[in-house]
Each structure stands twice: as C-alpha cells, then as structure tokens.
Structure 1
Amino acid sequence: MTPVSRVLVVSDDAKWQGEVLAGLGAAAMQLENPFGLSFLGAARLGEAMERVAADGEIQIVLVDKQLGEEGLAQPAVQLANRIIAFRPELSLYILLVDDDQKLLVEEMASHAVDGYFYREELDFSGWFRILTAELAEKSATPFYDRLKQYVRMAKDSWHTPGHSGGDSLKGSPWVGDFYEFVGENMLRADLSVSVPMLDSLLHPTGVIAESQALAAKAFGARKTYFATNGTSTSNKVIFQTLLTPGATLLLDRNCHKSVHHGVILSGARPVYLDSSINPKYGIFGPVSKATLFAAIQAHPEARVLILTSCTYDGLRYDLEPIVEAAHARGIKVVVDEAWYGFARFHPELRPTALEAGADYVTQSTHKVLSAFSQAGMIHVNDPDFDEHLFRENFNMHASTSPQYNLIASLDVARKQAVMEGYRLLERTLRLAQELRQKIDSTGVFRVLELEDLLPEEVREDGIRLDPTKLTIDITGSGFSADELQQALFERYNIQVEKSTFSTVTLLLTIGTTRSKVSRLHDAMLRLAKEKRPRHTPRRLPEIPHFSRLACLPRDAFYEEGERLPLLDDEGRPNSELLGRVCCDQIVPYPPGIPVLVPGQVIDESILSYLARLQKAQKTIEMHGLAGNSGDYVVRVLSSVEFLQLPSRILFG
C-alpha cells in the first residue's frame, strides 16, 4: 500500500506558484514516487495554517520567502515558526531569492527549517528527489529494516535462544499450536546479541543508535534511549544516575511504585509530598503548586524533583512554572510521562514535559502508541547529562538478552507517530468527544469533566485534562464498579482500563475505531435501560496523610525485620504496630498510593486505615503485606535493628 504524502506550497505569487505546482506534479508522474507525493497550494498565512490543521497527510511545507501579508513583518518567517510550533514533525523548506535572505531566515527561524531551494532555479526533478529523500529519512526504521533483512537471510542458528527460530516448536504435537499462534516471523526475529549486524542495546553503535537518534529528533530530546522493561525500569535507571545515598529527592506520593522502588535502590532521602484528593470520586490528583513551591523553597539541598504528568486519570500539571522554580534552585526535574507519550504529535495535547523544560522524561511507548508491551523510551534534555554514568546504570538494569521484537516495535512506533500521528490523534480526539456525548446521552452514565475531577486545592493551578482518558460516573446506573466491569466483559466483550468505587475509566488511543465506539455506546445504552435502583457505592476510607520517616527507606528495606499481625486476636488494629518503622511499601490497590513506605513510622491513622480496608474491602489488593495463614502481617524493624541504623540520626 503506497502512503499519501502532500506537500503544501505557500506563495502569494499565483503565476510562480502555479508553475511550481505543475512542475513538481509532472516530476511525481515521471519519477519513482514511493511515498505518494502530491502538491497543493496556499496563498496566505491563515490559509496555510488552516490546511496544516485540517490535513493530516501534509508532510512537507515549502514557504516562499517573498510571501507578503499586510500588517506582518517577515510573514514567511512567522509562518515557518507557527507551523513548527503547531506540528513540529513537519518538514519545512524555504524558497529563497539570494543568500542574504537565507542569513535572515537562519537568524530568525533556523530551528524550524530543514532546507532551502532557490526560487529561480526551477529544477523540479531535483526538488522532487530532495523531498523524497527527506521523507525517506524521516520514515526510516533502521533497526526494524535490518531485523527484517536478517530474517530473510535465513541463517542457521547455532546460538541462543533455544527455540532456534521456532524450530523447536514447529511440528510439535504438544506445543506446535504456539508456533502457529505467534507466527514464524516473530520467532525468527527473536534473536540474541550473537548477531552483530543487529547492534547491541547495551552499547549501541549501529542501527539501534540510528533509531534512537531518530526518536530523539521526533520527541524533541537531546538524547533518547530505548527501554525494553518499561517505564518501571527507566525510572530506576534515572534515579541511580542522579542520586547518591542520602541525597534529597522531592516526589509525589502518588508516583508509580517503580519510583518508590527507585528510592530504595538509590539510597536517597525522599521528601514525600501528599497528592491532592477528590474524595467524591476517589480520584487522586497532582500535588498542588503551593505544596511544590514550598517544598522547593524548604529543601535547597534537593537534587531531583519527580512528577507524574499526566496522571492515570488524565490530569496534567502546568509544568513550566514548576520546572522554572526547580531549576532556579539547581534541582533536576524528572517527569514520568508513561501515559502521555503521544502528546508531541498534536497541538491540543502539548506542551510535553520536554517542551516545558524537564531534564528527563520516561514514556511507556506501548501504552498509547503502537509499540509492544514493555517497550518504552527515556528522553534526556539535561545540559549536565553524564552519559557514561547513565550507561553504567542502564546496563545494570537492562537484560544482556533484550527482546529484539520490542526494539523493532519502538522503531516502528516512532515512525508512525512522525508520519501519521497527527492524523490518527485528530481522529482519536474526535472519537473521544463523540463518545463523551453518546455516554452522557444515556441519561444514566456521565463522563466527568475537568471541573468534576479536580480536587479543590488544585483548582487554580492550571491543571488540564487529557481528553483521551474518559472517567465515567456510574453511580446512577445501579451497578457497582465490579458489576459493571463484569457485565461489559461477559455480555458485551468490552474490557475497560480501571475503576474506583464510583467510576470506570476508558482509554482511547490511536487504535480506537468508530466501530469500537459504536459497540461501547450500544452496551452502555442497554445497561442504562435496565434501570436498576440507584446504587450508593461504599467509599473507601480517606487515605491518611504521610506520617514521617525514621530512617532512609533503603536501610529499612534491607533489614530482616520482624513480622507483626495487622489485627490482634480480637480482630482490632494491633496496637503493637504503633510507632514501629515499616520495612516494606504497602499499597492498597486501588487507589495504588503507598500508605506506608520503607522507613515510615506507623501512626494510629495509618493503622486504622489498613485495618478497615482489610476487614471491609475484600476486593482491594493489599500489596506489600505479608500473608500468614490467611492473615496479614506487617514487616517492621526490630528495636535493635533500628538503633543500629546510622541513618536514623538524619531524621531526629
């Protein structure tokens, strides 16, 4: 299938523009045209921006430097900057009269321009070849192409993995169905570092390095690294690169558990910041700006601030002022953008964390783009980046036998995002708006808007909502969240992303189709018509505030500790736990926020909260509590262990 690629020629010189469009069109007919180049014109700045916004197939814009626009100085330069601000993935060429114009353009818009043509040198075949080469470079997938090449070479395998390209599975009466299910190419492409032409993820100098460089350009980073164990490992790599034992770190308590694991591994001294809470819907939002600015001011020794943007529910920080405040104190900013990796490719979703000035950004490319599960990226914009130290930490966590299909999927996902991300996201956003209206029209289910989701303390913080994440209030339906999820799954073959006691969340991606939207709407409409009695959901008790740390989390985690039951023999909260120091991260899921982290002191509110959950909420998973004959036990430091910890002195 040949793609469609349109080139927009912007000039108010109608005669010259007509000659250019005709000449390039003739070249497209005569020469090889693998990307389906075609050409269209615009005469004014506003018209050009309208076309760029409306047509996701536009890949390249040619702007006549002679472009005139009443009331505008240097309209061609202004248009170039506007186009790249709106769709940075587009290629932009300026049509010049002389070298003086080139110097002016480079002074005012060098970041935006990919190349130049001279207006009077109407070498249309030459221009066409250059434009074709530009698209070839943008759409290249160096690693994926080399992997396909190697598979087609049909080399005999005398190296790992043991299935030997699937030969151990093929024809087996016991497991041959797995070969058929997965497919021959997937198995033939499952190779090892024994194949030098496929480069090394741990020390890339060939096609992996090339693919990572293309990704850096696409996402607006100085450096990009492919990760094959998700954002979870990426966060840990960054922590170990930036932090040394005892170094201070500011973090949102609602960060992903991998961040808390990174605290343990790095030996850092964390300052936990309570996230905002919307108790009506059980939604945990961003940390308030007031809390963040106060923490930055109170901890000038802090080395790193890490935030999650957007949150699982789609709430996005107004990052730029936060980053500026942190940088003013010499604090590096890390943003976990696991749920927001597509934002670069549509203006409605920007600015991205990198555009807001973050030093490090981790993305789960598999969550919202077309990469395979576990495939992610680490983007670096830190001007003080120590690549050697980063590489040592990266290699400490990465497998020496990475899954090459994951790397190929990152290469392909980046290509798709650059070449058709805008068009696909434009469709996704339209479908999201349509689905909102359809769900609201049931009269029973309602999609929550930003005002509904925002906790009170962050209403003036410039928080925005990712419209591709739909949180639905189900309280009017008569279904509990568990019942609704089960009905959607068993009766209508629909699996949703997550739920709270009163909501379910849907995730729309570039893979969402109108047919899926129609089927979901039909299911919600049928369920609404059942007219069950209104269900009053049983709310979770409010998560207690963070108590205090008694020692570094790493020190508590690596002690043996002793295990005390959560409840006493009478089924009441075990008072022996009060004042003790927890050794583990204890996370009720949902909501997924740690109630206790290693090194944290257990107080009465925390103990009461855990006991209530354990007794009343049987559907809640209690991560971090050890089991003992069906009862939960908590691992805490013994008195002797605590007194022997040097880091306890740091915490008074």
Structure 2
Amino acid sequence: MNKPGCKVLVVGRDAVWLREAIKGLNHNAHQESGAFGLSFVPAASAADAQVAVRDDGSIQIVLIDSQDLDQPLLPFVDWLGDFRPELSLYVLLGRGEERAQVANLLGETLSGYFMRDEQDWAGWRHILQAEIAEKAATPFFDALKRYVELAKDSWHTPGHSGGDSLRGSPWVGDFYQFLGENTLRADLSVSVPMLDSLLHPAGVINDAQALAARAFGARRTYFATNGSSTANKVILQTLLAPGDTLLLDRNCHKSVHHATILSGARPVYLESTLNRRYGLFGPVPKQTILDALAAHPSARVLILTSSTYDGLCYDLAPIIAAAHECGVKVVVDEAWYGFARFHPAMRPTALECGADYVTQSTHKVLSALSQASMIHVNDPAFDAHLFRENFNMHASTSPQYSIIASLDVARKQAMMEGYTLIDRALGIARELRELIAGTGVFRVLELDDLLPAELASDAIRLDPTKLTIDISDSGYSGAELRDILLERFNIQVEKTTFNTLTLLVTIGTTRSKASRLLDALMRVARDKRTPRRPPQLPALPGLGRLVCLPRDAFYEAGEMLPLLDDDGRPNVELAGRVACDQVTPYPPGIPVWTPGQQISDEAVSYLGRVTRMQKDLELHGVEQDGDGYYVRVLRLEDEQMLKFDRNAR
C-alpha cells in the first residue's frame, strides 16, 4: 500500500531564517517515525506559495511568517482559504501584542500561532503533526476495525453471525467468498455500544460527523445510509407543515415530490428549461425564481438542484440572497456535486453561497458506498430536535455500518488528497473532450450546446467532469450505442438520451480507462452508419392547475383510466381529471403531471406522442397492462371533497 506524504509550506522572505527553519523542522520530523510522511518545504514569497499550493496537492498546512511577507497578510490568507479551504493555516508572530492584532483580522480562519523567535522546531512539528492527525482521523472506521479485530462471539443480529452461517456452506459458501470475511464481520447491529448509534450519536459517529461538517463548511453534518432521496424527505418534513407553500423546480428529483406528498405541503412548481434537441433538462431561469418569490410571500422553502444530472450549476448566491430577504429557507440538492468543495474550479458550493440545507450523494462522486449520503446544515434557526425526530422517522434502526464507515473514509480522502484527485479528473476530462472531437463523429457538448436560450444571461456554469457526447452523426441511437459499448468493449455509461451518451469522470477514473473509452469510440466511428435525422422531443406542456394538496390526492384510492383509447389515440376522458400520481417519461425525466393537478389535453397528447416516438421510453407513475398504460385519477366525487377551499388554514 502506498504511504501518505504530507507537506508543510513555510512562507517567508528572510532567506537565512527560512533555510534554518526548514533544516530544523525536517531534521526533527525525520527523527520521529510519523505516520504521515511529514516534510517541510520553503516558499520565499507569497507568489511562490500560491504556485506551490496550486501545483502540489500534498501540501496540507501553510506556515506564514507574518513579519516577513512580501504582501499584506490578510489578502494572502484570504486567497489561500478561497483556493483550498481544506488547508490548515498557521502564522508566526513576532511580538505578544501582534497576536491580538492578527486574531482581530483573521478570526477563525487560522488554525493557530507560533512565536517566531522561539524556533521550537520539535514543539512546532508536534503541533502540526497533530493537526494533520486530526484531519486524517476516521473515528468510526477505526472503531469498526478495532471491534472486528476483537473477534467477539455474536449472540445478536444479524442472523448470519459475522458470516458463520455462510462460511463452509455447500449451497451459499460462494457468497461468503465473494463478499469476504471483513465485510461480514463488520455487518453488525445497534447491540454494539462502542460503535455508537446513528439515530442518537454521542460517540464515534458524532465525532465523524463533526469532522465532515468542518471539511464541507457546514455548521452541522448528518450521515444518511439510504441516499439523498431520504435526506431530501427529512429536510422538507422538518421545514414544512401541511398547507405550507413550497417553491420547487419542476424537475427536482422524485424524492422531492415524494417529500411534498409526505409533508402535506402546497407546491408551486417552477418550470424547468428543456433542451429539445438533446432531450436534456436545464435549471429554472433566475427571473422565474425571483418572480415566484415575489408572487408567493407566504412561501416557506425554495428547493433547487445544482448541479443537474448533466452538470449545469446555478449562480446560487443572488438567488439565495433574494430568498433570504423574503424569509424563505433554501434547500439545494447537490447530489451530483459533493466533491466541489475540494477544488477551486468547481466552487462555490451551495453552502458557500448561503444555502440553509444541502444534500449530497457522497457515493456518486466520492469514495463512499452506494446509499452513502450527507445532510449539511447552515440554517441559523435550525431546530435540532425536530430534525432528529424526522431523521429517525426515516432512518433504519439497523443501519449498514460499512456505509457509515465509507462516509468517514470518503471525507478523509477528500480532505487529504481531494484536490489532487479532482485536479487529475479535470485533466482527464479536458483531454477526452479534445480527443473525442478528433474521432470526427462524436463530440462532447459544451455549455453553449447544453444551455437553453432562456438561461443565456443567468451565469450558469458547467461541471466539466460530466461529459455529454453528441452521437447524432454515428447513425446509432443512444440505446444502441450504449449496448455496443457494453457488449463489445465492456464499457458501461451513466445514461443516454436518443442522441447523447453521458459519462462521468470521477476521482476513480484512470488514464487507462480513458484510453479504452477513446479506442472504443474510434472503432465505432470507423463503422458509422448513415446519420439519421434525430427526433426532437415535443414541447413539454405546462403543469395543470393544482386542485388539491398532492398528499390528499395521492392517498385516495382513485380509479384507473387508460392513457390511450382503443385506437391508440390520447384518451379524451382523462382531460380535466385530477391526477393521483406523478407521471414522468424518461427521457427527459420531467414530470408531465403530479398528484393533485388537473390533467390537460396537451399533457395527454404529449404522452401519446412520446410513447409512439421512443421505443425505449420509461414511463414512471403508470401501470402497464400488456401493451397499454393506465393512470390513476381521483374519482369525481372525491374531487369535490378535496378541493382547496375545504383545506383553508
């Protein structure tokens, strides 16, 4: 296993003192058998330090000589904090009264101070090494490893008893071999007190969450073991009471729509933009959001998705500021952007823009197991008790401890080498963009290609690690090319539309994988078919009038009506009825109607067209019986009982 290496950058103009300090600190570090490969490197100026911090991800701490810096201390420290917030910053002081002045200027930005004239190399090295140890700690993972090593006899759940029921079995012993001994020994239960409780953390889980909050820039962080889907539900149930108004992007993840049902909120849907050429959704226009805030002064919460599945990121700061001026809490679903904190090319994050709550699917873009997610809280009026009650309502009393450990480990890796790994991923993404264009058939779409016209002035950014490839000139559909890459070249892509493939470049992407991908695309390009005229999705109809709360419509039994009539045409009997379920065709993945909404002629016609146009269509929220689709609607007599004037608060 590779050994870690950590560097402390010592910054100062006094060449004699700097040379002596580096020599003394490194001599002391080499005498100690530290676990982090600690070494000290010099920078003779602030400009040299900036280059070093930019080029060397192994730098973990910057030690600044405040008396001998070639530029003002405050702007330099601000730059370091903005560029790489995971860095620990220490300052060398000359006089006792200087400490108060520096503390006044920099507040909590600094991790600590040393007196320059003391030249206490051993003392300084000891404190700096302890700082690295704190950042690199994995309290829960370490406790889990220790417990597994103790090899305790299990007289508690789970029933496989550390794998003993599987090991040696002639029928299922292969499952034991496949997972491995440690995986099964680490599959424990709340019967083990030393591993703390996810539902009421007071030990190692609490410590791990506190380290995550520090890493991601939150006041509090909570681990979730059943994905951001549940995390979104927990937050919205905490913030909303039945009848409260929620502003939400029409294309929010389905968990947000489920949370709307569970909370009893009254939704105001903000129309998403749609790139019809590629079947890709975009953010809600900024002006649409501002208009909705002005039109709904009683709104309690605004929830947005940034980045989108295809990598489009809002200019969040002015939107969040406007919402806060209206007294509206802002929740950002950052499921696809959880790594952004650790590289300046990806920032600012939603938390840095002022979001009150952020959900991140850590497993999507960092080194965590599937279902591993985090909830970050910066709400100054956070009700911890109410949040905990809602969290416990959704969380399992038997969480998977390996998932919790993976969150602990993913946070450590992001802190210690996230900058290096993300920088490598960005480099690979840049190279792939150029090389894929060189095939002459495939092309990675840029921001201007992806951005609907309505967003041209909204300062939208593109996450460059999400590669959306235009395959129109290949003559293949997205589904056909996906299958070719899988079956012929052993390459699995993230998603497709009728004329695009989406690939994720992650911190686990290697140049070897990139080479194999490029080789496969070049081979397919040589065998290309005659390009076909790509279909364009029909214009998405506007959402119908909200007749009753989504919760009320969803919990009615309703009745099932066919989407199409016997001749395959849109069923005219659906028009004007009230939906009980959310119906979403994929692609593009935007709901055509949601519970409680009146179904329009245009919506029924739209579904009829897309089901005819797209043979590989997934239609969520319907029941399929043979070749026919059926949708659930309120019975007419129930509509009168549930309409809004009977739900007045």
Do both proteins adopt the same fold according to a TM-score greater than 0.5, normalized to the shorter chain?
yes
Q: 1:605 to 1:625 in 2, by over 3 A?
A: same
Pair 1:65 & 2:62 matched = no
Asked whether the 8 Å contact 2:583–2:591 carries over to 1, the reply is: yes
Give secondary structure in 2 for the equivalent of 1:511.
Answer: coil
Give secondary structure in 2 for the equivalent of 1:536.
Answer: coil
Q: 1:170 to 1:135 in 2, by over 3 A?
A: same
- Cα distance in 2 between the residues matched to 1:545 and 1:484: 32
Superposition RMSD on alpha carbons, in Å?
1.1
- Which residue of the partner structure matches residue 476 of structure 1? 473
- Which residue of the partner structure matches residue 589 of structure 1? 586
- Which residue of the partner structure matches residue 416 of structure 2? 419
Asked whether the 8 Å contact 2:277–2:537 carries over to 1, the reply is: no
- Which residue of the partner structure matches residue 3 of structure 1? 4
- Cα distance in 1 between the residues matched to 2:118 and 2:218: 35
Q: CA offsets per residue over residues 591-647 of structure 1, 9 Å max, x none?
A: 211111000111111010112223342211111111234421111001111111153
> Which of residues 127, 130, 133 is equivalent to 1:133?
130
Give secondary structure in 2 for the equivalent of 1:472.
Answer: strand
1:650 to partner: Cα distance:
6.2
- Which residue of the partner structure matches residue 647 of structure 1? 644
Asked whether the 8 Å contact 2:89–2:112 carries over to 1, the reply is: yes
- Cα distance in 2 between the residues matched to 1:628 and 1:143: 48
- Which residue of the partner structure matches residue 46 of structure 1? 47
- Which residue of the partner structure matches residue 569 of structure 1? 566
- Which residue of the partner structure matches residue 18 of structure 1? 19
Give secondary structure in 2 for the equivalent of 1:172.
Answer: coil
- Cα distance in 1 between the residues matched to 2:368 and 2:487: 28
- Cα distance in 1 between the residues matched to 2:308 and 2:553: 29
Q: Give the counterpart letter for 1:148 in structure 2.
A: K
> Which of residues 235, 249, 255 is equivalent to 1:258?
255
- Cα distance in 2 between the residues matched to 1:478 and 1:538: 12
Give secondary structure in 2 for the equivalent of 1:634.
Answer: strand
Asked whether the 8 Å contact 2:141–2:409 carries over to 1, the reply is: yes
- Cα distance in 2 between the residues matched to 1:432 and 1:112: 33
Q: CA offsets per residue over residues 370-395 of structure 1, 9 Å max, x none?
A: 00000000000000000000000000
Ranges of 4+ aligned residues in structure 1 off by more than 4 Å: 648-651
Pair 1:365 & 2:362 matched = yes
- Which residue of the partner structure matches residue 300 of structure 2? 303
1:458 to partner: Cα distance:
0.5
- Cα distance in 1 between the residues matched to 2:506 and 2:224: 21
- Which residue of the partner structure matches residue 341 of structure 2? 344
Worse-matched range after superposition: 109-118 or 289-298: 109-118
> Which of residues 234, 238, 247 is equivalent to 2:235?
238
1:648 to partner: Cα distance:
5.2
Give secondary structure in 2 for the equivalent of 1:622.
Answer: strand
Q: 1:66 to 1:606 in 2, by over 3 A?
A: same
- List aligned pairs for 1:195-206, cutoff 5 A: 195-206=192-203
Pair 1:374 & 2:371 matched = yes
Q: Give the counterpart letter for 1:284 in structure 2.
A: F
Q: Give the counterpart letter for 2:489 in structure 1.
A: Y
- List aligned pairs for 1:285-296, cutoff 5 A: 285-296=282-293
- Cα distance in 1 between the residues matched to 2:249 and 2:623: 25
Pair 1:89 & 2:86 matched = yes
- Cα distance in 1 between the residues matched to 2:68 and 2:600: 70
Q: Give the counterpart letter for 1:24 in structure 2.
A: L
- Cα distance in 2 between the residues matched to 1:493 and 1:537: 26
Give secondary structure in 2 for the equivalent of 1:348.
Answer: coil
Q: Give the counterpart letter for 2:326 in structure 1.
A: R
- Cα distance in 2 between the residues matched to 1:532 and 1:575: 40
- Cα distance in 2 between the residues matched to 1:168 and 1:540: 53
- Which residue of the partner structure matches residue 494 of structure 2? 497
Asked whether the 8 Å contact 1:555–1:647 carries over to 2, the reply is: no
- List aligned pairs for 1:514-593, cutoff 5 A: 514-593=511-590
Asked whether the 8 Å contact 2:89–2:111 carries over to 1, the reply is: yes
Worse-matched range after superposition: 152-161 or 102-111: 102-111
1:649 to partner: Cα distance:
4.8
- Which residue of the partner structure matches residue 153 of structure 2? 156
- Cα distance in 2 between the residues matched to 1:308 and 1:135: 34
Give secondary structure in 1 for the equivalent of 2:322.
Answer: helix
Asked whether the 8 Å contact 1:66–1:76 carries over to 2, the reply is: no
Q: CA offsets per residue over residues 63-111 of structure 1, 9 Å max, x none?
A: 0011232xx4xx2232222111110101111001122211121111123
Give secondary structure in 2 for the equivalent of 1:239.
Answer: helix
- Which residue of the partner structure matches residue 622 of structure 1? 619
Q: CA offsets per residue over residues 119-158 of structure 1, 9 Å max, x none?
A: 0111111111111111110000000000000000000000
What TM-score comes out, normalization by structure 2 length? 0.98
- Cα distance in 1 between the residues matched to 2:543 and 2:135: 48
> Which of residues 272, 276, 292 is equivalent to 1:275?
272
1:199 to partner: Cα distance:
0.2
Q: Give the counterpart letter for 1:19 in structure 2.
A: E
Give secondary structure in 2 for the equivalent of 1:171.
Answer: coil
Asked whether the 8 Å contact 1:339–1:364 carries over to 2, the reply is: yes
Asked whether the 8 Å contact 2:66–2:73 carries over to 1, the reply is: yes
> Which of residues 222, 228, 249 is equivalent to 2:225?
228
- Cα distance in 1 between the residues matched to 2:101 and 2:276: 56
Q: Give the counterpart letter for 2:30 in structure 1.
A: M
Worse-matched range after superposition: 204-213 or 614-623: 614-623
Asked whether the 8 Å contact 1:501–1:540 carries over to 2, the reply is: no
1:353 to partner: Cα distance:
0.1
Asked whether the 8 Å contact 1:642–1:648 carries over to 2, the reply is: no
Give secondary structure in 2 for the equivalent of 1:377.
Answer: strand
What TM-score comes out, normalization by structure 1 length? 0.98
- Which residue of the partner structure matches residue 390 of structure 1? 387
Q: CA offsets per residue over residues 242-297 of structure 1, 9 Å max, x none?
A: 00000000000010000000000000000001111111211110000110000011
- Cα distance in 1 between the residues matched to 2:470 and 2:212: 38
Percent of aligned pairs with the same residue? Answer: 65
- Cα distance in 2 between the residues matched to 1:602 and 1:281: 26
Pair 1:99 & 2:96 matched = yes
Q: CA offsets per residue over residues 509-541 of structure 1, 9 Å max, x none?
A: 100000011110111111111132112223332
- Cα distance in 1 between the residues matched to 2:158 and 2:283: 44
Question: Which structure 1 segments of 5+ residues have no match?
Answer: none
- Cα distance in 1 between the residues matched to 2:78 and 2:537: 50
- Which residue of the partner structure matches residue 609 of structure 2? 612
1:31 to partner: Cα distance:
1.3
- List aligned pairs for 1:19-34, cutoff 5 A: 19-34=20-35
- Which residue of the partner structure matches residue 402 of structure 1? 399
Pair 1:110 & 2:107 matched = yes
Give secondary structure in 2 for the equivalent of 1:347.
Answer: coil
Give secondary structure in 1 for the equivalent of 2:255.
Answer: helix
- Cα distance in 2 between the residues matched to 1:597 and 1:55: 50
- Which residue of the partner structure matches residue 637 of structure 1? 634
- Cα distance in 2 between the residues matched to 1:45 and 1:547: 59
- Which residue of the partner structure matches residue 434 of structure 1? 431
Asked whether the 8 Å contact 2:63–2:90 carries over to 1, the reply is: yes
Worse-matched range after superposition: 94-103 or 408-417: 94-103
- Cα distance in 1 between the residues matched to 2:69 and 2:330: 43
